[in-house]
Amino acid sequence: MDKIALIFSGQGAQYSGMGQQLREYSPAARAVFEIADSLRPDTSRLCFSGSDEELKETKNTQPCLFCVDLAAAAALREAGVEADLVAGFSLGELAALTYAEAMTTEEGFQLVCRRGELMQKAGEINKSSMAVVLKLQDEVVNVLCNQVDQVYPVNYNCPGQVVVSGIPDGLQSLKGIVKEAKGKTMPLGVSGGFHCKFMQPAAERFSKELKEYAITSPKLPLYSNVTALPYYNDDPKELLARQIISPVLWHKSVENMISAGATTFIEVGPGRVLSNFVSRISDQVRCYHVEDIESLKQTIAEVKYSA
């Protein structure tokens, strides 16, 4: 049976103006922004007119992206397009959990705000950054990272693309050996080296704070970044804490979603980064995205026509 997978955008996809059209057009999307602004009054302003520097700060990026991701999903749901299974990239996993009713919108937003603050602080303590390695197989990138001090493969995105986290000197050294291996590196505009041991202080503190929240099992199959498998009997809180210091197994997650029957992937949130990954992983599925009025209307028309 054909299934629809919603995939929630992650950090790096942000841009000034994101979500503004959705808020103006969809009552369901507007409600998400109103909740966010009631808890963090500057959220809509940052999404709609924040500077690149403001939006690059992790403490701002994460709540803003969560808000736009969830607003796009809410607009789809309002139009009668429901997901059969879901996944989110890094912070997008919290939006996916909220969509799957494992927690309320208020709880999800409060958690992602705290997550962003803790990860930014950890990044300031452990001076590190991230880069994407292109044109090399995952196994080759793993070997090359082992040759460099304090550089780790952290996001397995799609064939020929792995993101690494590392200290500045380590990333510079990696650039040279990647070039020798016929690959290419590109720096990413983030404020820390995420999904590895640099984030240990954030993971430990986040684990303690998660205890204050009543997070339940998601009501839809939700594929974890940590395991690439659905949350079954796993403790959502434990997985969310581990996720901060664990590689994002996106490539494997998408393959597992396809094996479970996903034939249509809809990226909700700014940009098309994740849907482009999916297209590179498989040419046997349909990919759409929702970030503004035009893409919302087009996706609704296409999905309902093909149903």
Q: Which residues are catalytic?
A: 90, 195
Distance of CA 23 to the CA centre of its chain: 21
The 10 Å CB-count burial string (b at 16+, else e) for 88-120 is: bbbbbbbbbbbbbebbebebbbbbbbbbbbbbb
Q: Which of 98, 51, 54, 69 is nearest to 10 (CA)?
A: 69
Q: CA gyration radius for the chain? A: 18
Give the residues across from 262 on adjacent strands: 3
- Dihedral (CA of 158, 159, 160, 163) sign: positive
The number of beta carbons lying within 10 Å of the beta carbon of residue 57 is 18
Structure-token pair, residue 19 = 């979500």
Strands 129-134 and 161-166, by their bridges, are: antiparallel
| Tokens 């452990």 belong to residue | 126
**DSSP symbols for 103-135:** S-HHHHHHHHHHHHHHHHHHHHHS--EEEEEES
The DSSP code for 2 is -
The DSSP code for 248 is B
Q: How far apart are CA 5 and CA 265, in angstroms?
A: 5
